Structure 1
Amino acid sequence: MNVQYISDNLGNKTAVVVAIEDWESIKKSYPSIENVNEELPEWQKDILDARLSDLNNPEKFKSIEYLFDVLDEEI
């Protein structure tokens, strides 16, 4: 796949240009990709907002080991 990157004035990559043939192939493999630009439902935005605000509260995070322990208890 041949892609071109578009960069801002600081050199940060901001976009990708894909050949139309490659794009058509991607759409065949992932038919729902055209829906990526649809607006998120409000309930999903609320969840994302809550999770983003938790980034400022690391004490709310649990380790992966904790998750495994909880899952083991459920079995």
Structure 2
Amino acid sequence: MKLQYISDSTGKTTGVYIPISEWNELKAKYKGIDQEKIDIPDWQKEEVKKRLDDFKNNAEQALDFDSAMDSIEKDL
């Protein structure tokens, strides 16, 4: 994929240019990728909010990715 990154005057990346031919390929492969709004079911939003609240209230119990994967792999 021939992406071009767009930067502001400070060098911060602010966007990405995708050639139209490649964009059309992506749209064909991933139906709905060009939709402006993706509807997420309310139950999923509530679950994410619940998990974020749980993390905020018990951050010391959270595991980093590598520790979580180690824990999962022990049980396999």
TM range (shorter): 0.5 to 0.7
Give the direction of change, closer, same or farther, for the CA distance of 1:56–1:16 in structure 2 (3 Å limit): farther
Partner Cα distance (1:35, 1:58) in 2: 35
Partner Cα distance (1:46, 1:11) in 2: 37
Match of 2:2 in 1: 2
The CA deviation at 1:23 is: 0.4
CA RMSD of aligned residues (A): 2.9
Q: Given the two structures, how large is their TM-score scaled by the length of structure 2?
A: 0.57
Greater share of helix: 1
Give the direction of change, closer, same or farther, for the CA distance of 1:8–1:44 in structure 2 (3 Å limit): farther
Gaps of 5+ in 2: none
Q: Which runs of 4+ in 1 moved over 4 A?
A: none
Match of 1:40 in 2: 40
Give the direction of change, closer, same or farther, for the CA distance of 1:57–1:12 in structure 2 (3 Å limit): farther
The CA deviation at 1:45 is: 1.7
Q: Partner of 2:28: helix, strand, or coil?
A: helix
Identity of aligned residues (%): 32
Gaps of 5+ in 1: none
Corresponding residue pairs, total = 71
Q: Given the two structures, how large is their TM-score scaled by the length of structure 1?
A: 0.58
Give the direction of change, closer, same or farther, for the CA distance of 1:52–1:28 in structure 2 (3 Å limit): same
Give the direction of change, closer, same or farther, for the CA distance of 1:46–1:9 in structure 2 (3 Å limit): farther
Partner Cα distance (2:15, 2:32) in 1: 20
